[in-house]
Amino acid sequence: MRKGHTDTMKKLLIYLRDYKKETVFAPLFKMLEATFELFVPLVMAAIIDRGIGQADTGYVLKMGGILVALGLIGLLCSITAQYFAAKAAVGFSTGLKHALFDHIQSLSFTEIDTLGTSTLITRMTSDVNQVQNGVNMVLRLFLRSPFIVFGAMIMAFTIDAKAAMIFVVTIPLLAVVVFGIMALTMPMYKKVQAGLDAVLSTTRENLTGARVIRAFHKEEEETGRFEEKNGFLTHLQLVVGRISALTNPVTYIIINAATILLLYTGAVRVDNGSITQGEVVALVNYMSQILVELIKLANLIITITKALACANRIEAVFEVESSMRWQEAAACADSESGLTAGGGKASGTDARQGNQSGQKAQRDLAVEFDHVHLTYGGAGAESLSDIHIQVPKGQTVGIIGGTGSGKSSLVNMIPRFYDATAGTVRVDGRDVKLYGMEELREKIGIVLQKAVLFRGTIRDNLRWGKGDATDEELWEALRLAQAKEFVETKEGRLDAFVAQEGRNLSGGQRQRLTIARALVAKPEILILDDSASALDYATDAALRRALKELPGETTVFIVSQRASSIQHADQIIVLEDGEMAGIGTHEELLAECEVYQEIYYSQRQT
């Protein structure tokens, strides 16, 4: 276990590489502080034996000045060490957070779904902060405390070897207590962090679904569920806290027993004339220094234990690899050359001509699903089965079906949020797996089911679609998305404030802004995943008319549960339980597809 902790810290400590100077100076200045501190008992012994013993006031004042100087120099060294340690620790956590965030962003939706949002938030915040505190404390105390402990023992030997033997017995005994408690608590802190994950997950669910909980009057049940998990976490923390709390009293007992023995031995040695009274005081001071440093060391070990447990949890996220592999676009374009439309090798003039015609036919298709199957990770059954669709460029495609029929799953494979488990998804005649991420995503504008806006201004949110978009481009996108009218009424217009998740806007306003955000980028393929559900029928109709103004090559996918929203599409795909129940125009489906007939007539009656 210790080897695993060590390996993990070695992997994470690479984020200290830009702070080599700070990681050297911080412990160095702490050692200087400790060195000056070790001279204090000797100065005190001199004041007692010579200054007070001989009533030499001038000597007392002189040595008192030396004590003040030692204190001031030690303070200066301590502040300097703290500065370097804090700079290194904060820089380390900054680098670690950036790397962790980048890694999480590289994961596919499958891994993010598996890990869970609350777990990732805990890793990014609480766990990283614990590791940061660990690095800070190690740089300040990891060398200082042992240096003081063993330095005090050595200084005690310079005063009196017989009395110093008490130190030789006391220090190993204290080490057994401190490291024994550490060995017991280290695995417990890992369980505490896991319990914290569970509490945060429940809290996030309750806060996100607060309205649903109130609507169904489930406050008491959710409170009970929270209290159960919080109670378990509290129990774990109490157990590990009680064990850790033994450190201070046990060390105090050992140190005080050693001090009593030291005073007794010192009294006997003073009576024999072997040592002076001042030297006895110096020995007691050294024992007190050891006590203070061992308490610090015990607290340091607790902090390190927590940090190591958190470091392992962070490393566990780094070890999760994305199930998707993105390729460089330049290499991809050639990978399908020499293949016929059917995938076989071609040779000779006829084969080349057939190949070229096949590739041209594929390039004329904006999107193609070639017998595609999709099974989510851990799912027992397929979500999509044998989907075969060809969508020419410039078409508007409607996708309709009941809840859970696979509508969102289908369109989520176009930008490659999920990979097909069988079959091939092609964009512009190329397998989406052969695109680079940026190249593929630049072709596609997508508006997801849940309208997500970010804290800032309307302008900031719209420019997510295109960072350098002009105001004219933003207003044109707002006009097409039927959002221009309400944005013009806002104070500040494009600079109007948007709260986190767009909470200061209505559902329809949020949806229209997310549609405008996608339109700003002028994508080749626009996917509207049930993104007009909060719009009234008149606005929905106006939006559909506006989408017809898009350039002729723009291909539009409209996912909807409203037949009226997609009935004018060039082709309509009807899904049922992950399978294609029909494909064709509105008129063709009304004549031939029972599923579509059921949906259309049920909505028409309402």
Q: Output the DSSP codes for 465-493.
A: T-TT--HHHHHHHHHHTT-HHHHHTSTTG
Q: In this structure, what DSSP letter does residue 508 have?
A: H
The span from the CA of 269 to the CA of 156, in Å, is: 14
What tens digit of pLDDT does each residue of 31-66 get? 888 888 888 888 888 888 777 877 778 878 888 888
Q: Is-contact 415 566, C-beta < 8 A?
A: no
| 156-170, 236-250, 530-544: least confidently modelled range | 530-544
Q: What's the average model confidence in pLDDT over 434-453?
A: 83
**For residue 362, what pLDDT is reported?**
58
Q: Could you tell me the two tokens for 9?
A: 């810290």
Residues 6 or more apart whose Cβ sits within 8 Å of residue 12:
96, 131, 311, 314, 315
**For residue 340, what pLDDT is reported?**
33
Q: What's the average model confidence in pLDDT over 431-448?
A: 84
> What is the distance in angstroms between the CA of the first residue and the CA of the last residue of the chain?
65
Residues 6 or more apart whose Cβ sits within 8 Å of residue 117:
204
Asked if pLDDT for residue 449 goes beyond 80, the answer is: no
Residues 6 or more apart whose Cβ sits within 8 Å of residue 281:
41, 44, 45, 48
H/E run at residue 268 = helix 247-271
Asked if pLDDT for residue 534 goes beyond 70, the answer is: no
Q: What is the CB neighbour count within 10 angstroms for residue 247?
A: 23
What tens digit of pLDDT does each residue of 202-241 get? 887 888 788 888 888 888 888 888 888 888 888 888 888 8
Average pLDDT, the chain: 80
**For residue 378, what pLDDT is reported?**
67
The span from the CA of 361 to the CA of 230, in Å, is: 60
Q: What's the average model confidence in pLDDT over 503-518?
A: 83
Q: Is-contact 132 89, C-beta < 8 A?
A: yes
Q: What's the average model confidence in pLDDT over 71-91?
A: 89
The span from the CA of 261 to the CA of 238, in Å, is: 35
pLDDT band at 1 (very low <50, low <70, confident <90, very high): very low
The span from the CA of 12 to the CA of 89, in Å, is: 12
φ, ψ (nearest 5 deg) of residue 530: 50, 40
**For residue 339, what pLDDT is reported?**
37
What tens digit of pLDDT does each residue of 377-423 get? 766 677 888 889 888 888 888 888 888 788 888 888 888 888 888 88
DSSP character string of 290-312: HHHHHHHHHHHHHHHHHHHHHHH
In CATH terms, are 2-318 and 364-605 the same topology?
Answer: no
- Please indicate whether residue 97 or residue 288 has the higher confidence score (pLDDT): 97
Domain boundaries, the chain: 2-318, 324-363, 364-605
What tens digit of pLDDT does each residue of 345-377 get? 334 445 444 455 455 555 677 888 988 888 887
Asked if pLDDT for residue 337 goes beyond 50, the answer is: no
The span from the CA of 559 to the CA of 515, in Å, is: 13
Residue 391, strand partner residues: 367
- The contacts found for 29-32 with CB under 8 angstroms, 24 or more apart, are 29/77, 29/78, 29/80, 29/81, 29/84, 30/77, 30/78, 30/81, 30/139, 30/140, 30/141, 30/143, 30/144, 31/143, 31/144, 31/147, 32/77
Asked if pLDDT for residue 2 goes beyond 50, the answer is: no
Q: In this structure, what DSSP letter does residue 50 have?
A: I
Q: What is the CB neighbour count within 10 angstroms for residue 238?
A: 11
Look-up of token digits 């400590």: 13
What tens digit of pLDDT does each residue of 182-207 get? 777 777 877 887 787 788 778 878 88
Order of strands across the sheet with 384-392?
384-392, 365-374, 422-427, 430-431
Asked if pLDDT for residue 343 goes beyond 50, the answer is: no
As a CATH number, domain 364-605 is: 3.40.50.300
**For residue 76, what pLDDT is reported?**
92
> What separation in angstroms does the CA of 29 have from each of 22, 82, 185?
10, 9, 31
Q: What's the average model confidence in pLDDT over 315-341?
A: 61
Asked if pLDDT for residue 606 goes beyond 80, the answer is: no
pTM of the entire structure? 0.67
φ, ψ (nearest 5 deg) of residue 526: -110, 125
Q: Could you tell me the two tokens for 134?
A: 């660990």
The span from the CA of 414 to the CA of 412, in Å, is: 6
Q: Could you tell me the two tokens for 366?
A: 């904006």
The span from the CA of 155 to the CA of 36, in Å, is: 13
Pick the CATH number of 2-318 from 3.40.50.12160, 1.20.1560.10, 3.40.50.720, 3.50.50.60: 1.20.1560.10
Q: Is-contact 458 520, C-beta < 8 A?
A: no
